[in-house]
Amino acid sequence: MVNIETTCSLESFRRFLITSTCLTFIPEIYLRDTEVFPEKEGESGSIYIEAADKVTLKKIRMISFLNVRDVLGILYTSKSGNTILKWRQIRGINGKATGEASANSLVNLLESDVITKEYAEELVQITAEKNEEPSFLQADESELLDENISDPITSEIPGLEGTLQTADDV
């Protein structure tokens, strides 16, 4: 999961909602209408549209399609609960998207132009750096050497008596 904080248009976030929830069954006329948004209630994922005016047009499966005006904010939680995003109006049709997104949601955010390719790559890099295991720490040399060997550089490895040995051999 990665933290998202970016500005985007209302239409971009609308496309993200549709791509993530109902792209396969949204009526074509609703898909093209920029005032129609999906809304969903329930335990497994939710979408809530905060708007000055909203009217339910049709309910298909678990999604209600609303005609909305003057959107102030949108709350989105994915079915898995791994993505929780908010869109808040800043000015006009532009707003700020914030929250946590899963890898799958990142793809949908990118596809919907909520985030740019450069921003997505930056998020992936930051996440990779956070998840990287710490590199081998230089331990105290005495911890690495067998305490029973008096001179580790010149001691022989059993079975290799008489051969040239270096510190790398040990």
Rg (CA), the chain: 28
Distances (CA, A) of 157 to 141, 142, 161: 19, 18, 7
Least confident of 36-50, 80-94, 98-112, 128-142: 128-142
* Phi, psi (rounded to 5 degrees) for 103: -60, -40
| CB 76 within 8 Å of CB 47 | yes
Distances (CA, A) of 146 to 3, 13, 153, 158: 47, 61, 12, 14
- β-strand pairing of 2-9 with 94-101: antiparallel
Predicted local distance difference test score (pLDDT) of residue 161: 57
Predicted local distance difference test score (pLDDT) of residue 15: 98
| CB 63 within 8 Å of CB 22 | yes
* Phi, psi (rounded to 5 degrees) for 51: -145, 155
Q: What is the pLDDT of residues 53-99, one digit of tens each?
A: 999 999 999 999 999 999 999 999 999 999 999 999 999 999 999 99
